[in-house]
Amino acid sequence: MLKKLCKCGKAIPITDKMCKDCLSKYHKSYDRYSRDNHGVYTDKRWAVVKDVCKSRAHGIDLWIYYKTGKIVEGRLAHHIIEVDDDLFRAYDVSNLFWLTDKSHQEIHALYNRDMDSKRKTQEILFMLNKKGTGVG
The domain limits of the chain are 1-41, 43-136
Mean pLDDT of the chain: 86
Residue 26 is predicted with a pLDDT of 62
32 Cβ neighbours under 8 A, 6+ residues apart? none
pLDDT higher than threshold 70 for residue 120: yes
- DSSP track, 19-81: -HHHHHHHHHHHHHHHHHHHHHHHSHHHHHHHHHHHHHTTTB-HHHHHHH----B--EEEESS
Residue 33 is predicted with a pLDDT of 52
Residue 136 is predicted with a pLDDT of 44
Q: What is the pLDDT of residues 58-116, one digit of tens each?
A: 999 999 999 999 999 999 999 999 998 998 999 999 999 999 999 999 999 999 999 99
Q: What is the pLDDT of residues 104-118, one digit of tens each?
A: 999 999 999 999 999
Q: How many helices and strands, by DSSP H and E, does the chain display? A: 5, 4
Residue 133 is predicted with a pLDDT of 54
Write down the pTM of the prediction: 0.72
Q: What value does the mean pLDDT take over residues 36-65?
A: 90
